[in-house]
Amino acid sequence: MACRMNAKHGYLIDMDGVVYRGGRLIPGAAAFVNRLVENEIPFLFLTNNSQRTRRDIATRLERLGIRISEENVYTCADATASYLARQSPGGTAFVIGEGGLLTALHDHGFSIVDRDPDFVVVGECRTFNAEVMEQALNMLVNGAKFIATNLDPNCPTSSGTRPGCGALVSMLESASGRTAFSVGKPSPVMMRSARKELMLAASQTIMIGDTMSTDILGGHQLGYYTVLVLTGTTSKEDLPQFSYQPDEVVSSIASINDERLAEQALSRDLSLSFESELSAV
């Protein structure tokens, strides 16, 4: 992992809507990431897409002009596999998903089975059918535990929008009467695991995202300094409807000055610490 044990701050960075959109790099994204690499500032790209492996995503970013290592990528598939390995070492899973999720589960010691699994695990899947959903339903009814890599209802594509993991999960929840446990953003499971990979404290962690209900909510709940960029799904006009707010709003990742942002995050942390001390008096 390209990070420093004595790092004063680091970044968790969403991908779609922050560094690229519709397969095209957002202006200024590559320059921002290059500065992080040059200054040895730890960072991870976070994604709720479980289709691709870390290596696949790193290669995709490299082809867009962002040169990083696969160690700079953390997916909800990685978070899910790590979580399940802690819950049930050497367990079994029936998977509705693609290569990224299958690879992560295998790497964490899980076996993929088509009957009597410990878990039914649902991720993004472009090839699901009624037969697969029926299999999963019967496994849930018969006692398999229900895990979702994320609850995003849809996924943007180059040709429009397709049903996301959350849509498949909702169907199975409705049919089985069971509720899935979701590991991906904004779940603290993924947000905390990513921070720990960077070996940072919560007060040192800055979350950059474009979606209030995942990136910003997840960061807000864990006490990270949150930065909303307006190049993705959320506009300034949307902000009043949320009961929580980002610490900072910028037009795009190109507008972020790392040194200033780090100072802002530190200043907020000191202010919160002071308020906490006063309340304890």
Task: List, as one string, the DSSP characters of 159-211.
Answer: TEEEE-HHHHHHHHHHHH---PEE-STT-HHHHHHHHHHTT--GGGEEEEES-
Catalytic residue among 16, 78, 210, 215, which? 16
Residues of the chain with CATH 3.40.50.1000: 10-48+185-280, 83-182
List the CATH code of the domain at 83-182: 3.40.50.1000
When pLDDT is averaged across residues 203-209 and rounded to a whole number, the result is 96
Give the tens place of pLDDT for each residue, 245-264: 999 999 999 999 888 888 88
Catalytic residue among 14, 78, 210, 215, which? 14
Give the tens place of pLDDT for each residue, 33-59: 999 999 999 999 999 999 999 999 999
Domain 10-48+185-280 has CATH 1.10.1040.10: no
When pLDDT is averaged across residues 141-161 and rounded to a whole number, the result is 89
Alpha helices in 41-183 (DSSP H): 54-64, 76-87, 99-107, 130-141, 165-176
When pLDDT is averaged across residues 71-80 and rounded to a whole number, the result is 97
Catalytic residue status for 107: no
